Structure formats: C-alpha cells, structure tokens
Structure 1
C-alpha cells in the first residue's frame, strides 16, 4: 500500500514537492526570503493546526489517523546563515468513502480551504485518483488525494524554515488504532460517507 501511495503522490503532487525540487525552486526561493524566521518545529505546529482544522471541517466527522511525518533539507538555502528544512505532515482517512460520495468530500474540503482564504492551485479531476492542491499566503501547501481503494490522504508541507528538532504531531487523531507501521486500507463504515447513493441536491 505504501508503494501505491508513493507512486500516486509522485504522479500528482508536483506542486507540493519539497523545497529541494529543481522545477519550482526559483519561485519558492523568492518567497522564502520573506518567510518569518521561526523554527521548523514552530512551522510543523502550524502545519498541524492547518491539518486539524481541515479534518475538523468535515461533517459528519471522518475517522482518521496520522500517517507519518517527514523532514527534508532545503539544499543551500539559508536564513541568517543557518541551514533550513521543510516538514511534511500526513493523515489517512479510515472511513470508507463510497465512490458515489468521494466528489462530495473533495468539494467540502475545497470549499473550506477557499473560505480560509487559501489559494487552490491544482484540481485533478481524475475519476480514479482525483486530488486538490492549495496553498496559504505564507506558502504552506496542502493536498487531499484519493488513493487505492478510495482512501483519502491529506498532506501539509511547510516552506523552508530554520532547521530544528521536530516532534511528532501532538494533535489528537480520532482514528481506530492499528498495528504495524503501514496504515491499513479504510475499514470504518459511515452511514453518511459510505452510502452508495450520491448526496441529494438541496431543494431550490
């Protein structure tokens, strides 16, 4: 499952690549120069807040778990001579979202991000593996993507900030505990999200 997800992200998430990506480094480097001089831990905490607010915006609530946190260096970009890095926070949804309601869930997330003033940068309308990418004014970048068996994944990538030790997310997930390092496929039914009929349109 991990390999499938890695392949999906590599194909769809160019705009959310870390700051070492040569394809977007020119644009990002200009923006990084105006970034505040906070530590990478502080940036990670802000990414956690974005993630938590996004997950909490979905009603009925989803069953979700943290899906690994990774840090990467930013090549030769420095702030006041100090090395910089970026952090990626991830979550995976354990709720079974039916094919009929995946578009509705994507729509909920997109509307929430727009309401927060985030810029929608890419919408991939693939029938099998759709995704949405967005960014904040401070260049925190987020994505929601549908993977194998319709599982939803959320990522938040920070800009480059001064390197520091970064702790695992302290935000509490509400997902069903699981064993092992790999997040399993979704298995939690929902009367709403697992229903096999589209969400009825509101009455005029």
Structure 2
C-alpha cells in the first residue's frame, strides 16, 4: 500500500509539472492578477503600433490555473502590409525583453510567437481578410475569479453581436494595397 501511494504521489507530481504548474509557481499570483498582467502586455503592444490600429476584446478563457486574453484588430491589414505589421510587433516585443519563440512565414496567414521572462506566452496571427489576432496565455496561477478586462476597446463592437465580425476599419497605411 505504501508503494502504491508513493507511485500515485509521483504520478500526480509529474502531471502537475508537465502542465507547467508547480505549487511554488502557482502561489506567486492569482488568475485575476495574471489576467491583469496579460492586459498590460496587450495594452502596451497595441499602443506601440504606429499608425494606430483599432481593436476589440476577444473572449477570455480560463483553465485549471491559467488565463488566456485576446484582442482582435478591426483595422484591415492588407496583404502588402502584413510583413510590416508583424515586424513592428516583433521589434516591440524584442525591445520589451521578450524572447521570440517561433515564426510562421505563411504569405496568407503569418504569425509570430514570443515568451516573457515571467512565462507569459504571446502570439500575433493574421487571419482571413487581414484580421490580426493577439493572444496572451498566462503561466499557472492560483485559482481565482477572473473579471473582464477594464482596458477600453478602441473599436465599436455591437453588444448583441454573437461573433466578432471581419475587419471593417480602413487605415490609409495598414489597409493600403500595392499598385
């Protein structure tokens, strides 16, 4: 029986570590604190994009000990400007001390991925019709309630909308097509 309990304890410990969550990491902050840090990361990068883009909140999701915050850009990013857009964000993240972890060089649906020193995972991906999607996944945190973001969106989204529409805001720069 003692051996069975020890094996069970080792299996549980391995499972927790494989999820990226140890008790020591989990005790540093709660999920609401982690969500607020994600908001700060997203706010900073979106403020750093010039010319500015307009965005709305994507949905927030929570897991056993992590939170995912999302922002959806409503400014259309033309195929000709996608590389520039990703380059602006890449440089901002590097300047912020983040480690770039992967790049998807797809011409149609490019994406970049980064990680902060404190374990937040960031992504920027371009979807259909040039819509940009930002996402931040938190490290493991203590279970807690997670409130909606208090960061004010810069684009209008009908409160009755079931889905976020395709980008519908034109930018003379970001939406410009080549001749």
**TM class by smaller structure:** 0.7 to 0.9
Partner of 1:26: 18
Mapped to 1, the partners of 2:113 and 2:169 lie a distance apart of: 26
Q: Which has the higher strand share?
A: 1
Conserved 8 A contact 2:60-2:68: yes
Partner of 1:43: 34
Residue 116 (structure 1) aligned to one of 96, 115, 119: 96
Partner of 2:112: 132
Unaligned segments of structure 1, at least 5 residues:
1-24, 74-84, 199-204
Residue 196 of structure 1 deviates from its aligned partner by 0.8
Partner of 1:146: 126
Matches within 5 A, 1:146-185: 146-178=126-158, 179-185=160-166
Task: State TM-score, norm by structure 2.
Answer: 0.85
Residue 29 of structure 1 deviates from its aligned partner by 4.3
Pair 1:188 & 2:169 matched: yes
Please provide the CA RMSD for this pair. 1.9
Conserved 8 A contact 1:48-1:171: yes
Conserved 8 A contact 1:39-1:161: yes
Conserved 8 A contact 2:21-2:139: no
Larger Rg: 2
Task: State TM-score, norm by structure 1.
Answer: 0.75
Partner of 1:6: none
| Residue correspondences, number | 163
C-alpha change, 1:92 and 1:120, in structure 2 (3 Å) is same
Partner of 1:58: 49
Unaligned segments of structure 2, at least 5 residues:
1-16
Conserved 8 A contact 1:35-1:138: no
Mapped to 1, the partners of 2:93 and 2:108 lie a distance apart of: 22
